[in-house]
């Protein structure tokens, strides 16, 4: 036994010995330090056991325990945050695995990993995962969004582009032909690759991940593609086949030029091209809802393209095939059903997500062109969806709100109104439903409190924008204020919030939940060590000073 500990043992338990206070505290401090060291060692031992990384079909399986080490140990790693029940995640899985195995066979240092965000919820919160699958690319530990496609080839191409040179050097016509295997290829033709235009081109190439870039100074390649001067050329397999930019070769102009020409005039929406459609620089979208099997489809598509060519780079024209089951959610978002088509809408993908509805469903260049022009010049009024007011909207304790009766109920100056904005398909909303009904029962007889709900997939408000489900907002009596409820979704928390007039809200802290989840694994060990310390503190006269020592 250490002589200091032996001496302390005698001092503590022998009635014939009286140890000076300062000496006693010194010895006890030694014990505390050793116990703290023991906790650290034991925790480290547990981490070392649990931090081994499993591999499934070439993909690393990450958890809260091994995530940080995986990120720090791999210079380039793509991480998929998924949910086991997610259909899109299941569809991605074989392609994701195929990409991982392909990179491994090539001897690449790029790794692919996955995190079950329904289990490792702290990681999902940390990286702000809002839907599944969410892919994040980590380079030297720094996270960025993934902007590629969902096939193995697209994943591999995106990763190689992200980790390699921004543009492939083209020494011959054969090199160019080998590069042009996709629907879109962007090539910079520059006599001097140190020129300002070439530097701007390479900067754009480095920033854009969704197309292949090449660069050449070879006269033979210039001649083969009939390029006379420094230019950026977008080669494509659709519409007019190519587009050239030879003036004002700046980062801004090149970026705008590529964005305006890399997609078809009328692009058919799919899950594969969703990142290109919704993640691009153009935020104003015209959506044509129609069955591709319709006899009128080709005519409607051609009329729409005539309008689209006049607004290249300013508005994206998208075709939504109503025969595709996955697209029904988009129709629902616009308050449409398949029988309402063919029709079209405009949406502005800004913060307000404003929607615009035409007066007629006629798909001709003149009618569609006028509709788009009205939007562009700012004279078109946004359309707000609303269901009809149900006959029994107030028959139950939880009042049913729609766009048409919302202001009358929620903005009643004599009432404190708590509203749940939900989506019928939302799992969290379904979990909340029985609690919300019980809350309604609790306040059913209240003269100044109203519990209500509104289906935000079918009803919209001009000044209340809902970005996630469920969203809960409080409309206090006698005020125009709208209070966001950020507390726990429990009956007790809701009652406290309402009984305090909306002034007290127990905020559920993500950091605390993450910390407690991590500590719970070692809590038994920590408790067993600290139990001895707190036992001493209970009866020692200088326990306050000891607490300071322990904290230090």
30-39, 222-231, 366-375: range with lowest mean pLDDT: 30-39
CA distances from 448 to 438, 493, 502 (A): 17, 19, 13
Mean pLDDT of the region 256-277: 89
Q: CA 42 → CA 33, 53, 433, 551, distances in Å?
A: 14, 20, 44, 19
Tokens for 1?
């036994």
Dist CA 118 CA 116 (whole Å): 5
In this predicted model, which residue has the larger pLDDT, 308 or 279? 308
pLDDT of residue 24: 46
Q: Can 429 be counted among the known catalytic residues?
A: yes
Residue 217 has pLDDT above 70, yes or no: yes
User: CA-CA-CA-CA torsion for 531, 537, 538, 540, nearest 10 degrees?
Assistant: 140
273 forms bridges with which residues in the sheet? none
Express each pLDDT in 315-356 by its tens digit: 999 999 999 998 998 998 898 988 999 999 999 988 778 999
Residue 28 Cα distances to 6, 18, 277, 412, 429, angstroms? 12, 15, 66, 65, 54
In angstroms, the CA 328 to CA 323 distance is 9
Question: Does residue 75 have a pLDDT over 50?
Answer: yes
Q: Which of 21, 86, 505, 551 is catalytic?
A: 86
Catalytic residue among 429, 505, 509, 551: 429
More confident residue, 508 or 398: 398
Are 288 and 304 spatial neighbours (Cβ–Cβ below 8 Å)?
yes
pLDDT at res. 503: 66
Tally DSSP H helices, then E strands, for the chain. 20, 21
Please compute the mean of the pLDDT values over residues 261-289 and round it to a whole number: 89
Find the mean pLDDT for residues 122-149. Answer: 92
pLDDT of residue 536: 33
pLDDT at 46: 43
pLDDT of residue 121: 92
Q: Do domains 54-158 and 398-508 have the same CATH topology?
A: yes
At residue 64 the predicted structure's pLDDT band, cuts being 50, 70 and 90, is: very high
Cα–Cα separations (whole angstroms), residue 164 to 169, 298, 324, 352:
12, 41, 37, 38
Which residues 6+ apart lie within 8 Å of 269 measured at CB? Answer: 277, 318, 319, 320, 321, 327, 330
- Could you report the per-residue pLDDT of 86-107, keeping only the tens digit for each? 999 999 999 999 999 999 999 9
The encoded tokens of residue 257 equal: 């030029």
Residue 201: the pLDDT is 98
Lowest mean pLDDT across 20-29, 60-69, 226-235, 296-305:
20-29
Mean pLDDT of 481-490: 94
**Nearest Cα residue to 61 out of 21, 4, 117, 129:** 117
pLDDT at position 332, please? 86
The owner of tokens 């720090």 is 72
Q: Does domain 281-376 have CATH number 3.40.30.10?
A: yes
| Spatial distance between the Cα atoms of 433 and 453, rounded to a whole number of angstroms | 10
Residue labelled with tokens 């969806």? 385
Is 505 among the catalytic positions?
no
Condensed to tens digits (0 to 9), the pLDDT of residues 303-312 reads 999 999 999 9
State mean pLDDT over 510-514: 41
pLDDT at 184: 95
Q: Span 151-170, mean pLDDT?
A: 92
Residue 13 has pLDDT above 60, yes or no: no
For the question of residue 426 being annotated catalytic, the response is: yes
489: pLDDT strictly greater than 50: yes
What would the two tokens of residue 515 be? 């910390």
How far is Cα 36 from Cα 525, in angstroms, rounded to an integer? 11
In which band, very low, low, confident or very high, does the pLDDT at 538 lie, cut at 50, 70 and 90? very low
Report d(CA 187, CA 176) in Å as an integer: 9
The angle formed by the CA atoms of residues 287, 292 and 297, to the nearest 5 degrees, is: 75
Residue 551 annotated to the active site = no
Q: What is the mean pLDDT of residues 264-277?
A: 88
Report long-range pairs for 172-179 (Cβ below 8 Å, ≥24 apart).
172/218, 172/220, 172/221, 173/220, 173/221, 173/224, 175/214, 175/216, 175/221, 176/214, 176/216, 176/221, 176/224, 176/225, 179/212, 179/214
Cβ atoms of residues 474 and 482 within 8 Å:
yes
DSSP 14-40: -TT----HHHHHHHHHHHHHHHHHHHH
- Active site residue: 426, 505, 509, 551, which one? 426
Closest CA to 65 of 87, 45, 81, 84: 45
Q: According to the model, what pLDDT value does residue 37 have?
A: 55
**Mind listing the pLDDT tens digit for each residue in 426-465?**
999 999 999 999 999 999 999 999 999 999 989 999 889 8
Q: Which of 89, 505, 509, 551 is catalytic?
A: 89
Q: What is the pLDDT of residue 4?
A: 36
Q: How far apart are CA 176 and CA 172, in angstroms?
A: 7
What pLDDT shows up at residue 467?
84
On the question of pLDDT at 372 being above 90, the answer is yes
pLDDT digits (tens, 9 = 90+) for 380-394: 999 999 999 999 999
Q: In what order do the strands lie in the sheet with 483-484?
A: 398-401, 449-455, 416-422, 471-475, 483-484
pLDDT > 70: percent of the chain: 82
Cβ 216 vs Cβ 169: under 8 Å: yes
How many Cβ atoms are within 10 Å of 475's Cβ, its own excluded? 25
Supply the pLDDT for residue 548.
31
pLDDT at 96: 97
* Whole-number Å distance between alpha carbons of 332 and 385: 11
pLDDT band at 85 (very low <50, low <70, confident <90, very high): very high
Strands 212-216 and 168-169: parallel
More confident residue, 478 or 532: 478
**What is the residue-averaged pLDDT of the chain?**
84
Name 56's bridge partners: 59
Beta-sheet pairing, 449-455 with 355-356:
unpaired
H or E segment at 398? strand 398-401
Give the residue carrying structure tokens 């048409």. 404
Residues in the chain: 552
| CATH homologous superfamily for the domain 165-261 | Glutaredoxin (3.40.30.10)
- Contact predicate 352/383, CB 8 Å: no
pLDDT at 22: 52
Instruction: Delimit the domains of the chain by residue range.
Output: 1-49+522-552, 54-158, 165-261, 281-376, 398-508
Q: Can you tell me the distance from the alpha carbon of 503 to that of 190, in angstroms, rounded to the nearest whole number?
A: 64
Top CATH class, 398-508: alpha beta
Q: Which CATH class is domain 54-158?
A: alpha beta
Confidence category of residue 271, pLDDT binned at 50, 70, 90? confident
Give the pLDDT confidence score for residue 51 in this predicted structure. Answer: 55
497-517 average pLDDT score: 57
Asked if residue 512 has pLDDT above 50, the reply is: no
Structure tokens belonging to residue 136: 């994040």
């Amino acid at each position: 036994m250490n002589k200091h500990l032996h001496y302390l043992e005698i001092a503590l338990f022998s009635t014939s010995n009286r140890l000076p206070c300062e000496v006693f505290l010194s010895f006890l401090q030694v014990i505390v330090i050793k116990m703290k060291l023991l906790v650290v060692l034991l925790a480290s031992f547990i981490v070392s056991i649990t931090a081994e990384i499993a591999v499934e079909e070439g993909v690393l399986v990450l958890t809260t325990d091994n995530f940080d080490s995986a990120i720090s140990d791999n210079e380039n790693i793509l991480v998929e945050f998924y949910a086991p029940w997610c259909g899109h995640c299941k569809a991605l899985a074989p392609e994701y695995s195929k990409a991982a195995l392909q990179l491994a066979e090539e001897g690449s240092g790029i790794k692919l990993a996955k995190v079950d965000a329904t289990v490792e919820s702290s990681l999902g919160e940390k990286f702000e995962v809002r839907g599944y699958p969410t892919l994040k690319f980590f380079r030297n530990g720094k996270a960025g969004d993934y902007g590629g496609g969902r096939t193995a080839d697209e994943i591999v191409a995106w990763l190689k582009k992200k980790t390699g040179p921004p543009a492939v050097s083209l020494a011959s016509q054969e090199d160019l032909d080998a590069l042009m295997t996709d629907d879109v290829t962007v090539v910079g033709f520059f006599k001097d690759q140190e020129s300002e235009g070439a530097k701007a081109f390479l900067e754009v190439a480095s920033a854009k991940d969704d197309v292949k870039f090449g660069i050449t100074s070879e006269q033979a390649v210039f001649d083969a593609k009939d390029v006379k001067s420094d230019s950026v050329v977008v080669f494509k397999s659709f519409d007019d086949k190519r587009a050239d930019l030879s003036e004002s070769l700046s980062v801004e102009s090149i970026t705008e030029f590529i964005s305006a020409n890399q997609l078809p005039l009328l692009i058919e929406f799919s899950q594969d091209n969703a990142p290109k459609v919704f993640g691009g620089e153009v935020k104003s979208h015209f959506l044509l809802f129609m069955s591709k099997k319709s006899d009128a489809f080709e005519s409607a598509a051609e009329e729409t393209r005539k309008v689209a060519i006049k607004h290249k780079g300013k508005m994206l024209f998208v075709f939504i095939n109503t025969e595709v089951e996955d697209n029904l959610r988009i129709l629902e978002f616009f308050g449409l059903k398949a029988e309402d088509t063919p029709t079209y809408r405009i949406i502005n993908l800004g913060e307000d997500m404003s929607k615009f509805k035409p007066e007629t469903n006629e798909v001709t260049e003149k009618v569609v062109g006028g509709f788009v022009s009205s939007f562009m010049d700012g004279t078109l009024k946004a359309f707000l969806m609303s269901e009809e007011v149900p006959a029994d909207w107030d028959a139950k304790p939880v009042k049913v709100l729609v766009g048409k009766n919302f202001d009358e109920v929620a903005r009643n100056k004599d009432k404190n109104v708590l509203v749940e904005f939900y989506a019928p398909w939302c799992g969290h909303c379904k979990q909340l439903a029985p609690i919300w009904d019980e809350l309604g029962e609790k306040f059913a007889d209240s003269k100044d409190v109203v519990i209500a709900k509104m289906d935000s997939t079918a009803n919209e408000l001009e000044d209340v924008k809902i970005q996630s489900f469920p969203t809960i907002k409080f409309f206090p009596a006698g005020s125009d204020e709208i209070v966001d409820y950020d507390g726990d979704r429990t009956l007790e928390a809701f009652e406290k919030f309402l009984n305090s007039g909306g002034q007290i809200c127990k905020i559920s802290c993500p950091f605390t939940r993450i910390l407690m989840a991590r500590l719970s694994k070692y809590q038994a060990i920590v408790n067993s060590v600290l139990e001895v310390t707190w036992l001493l503190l209970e009866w020692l006269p200088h326990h306050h000073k000891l607490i300071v020592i322990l904290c230090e």
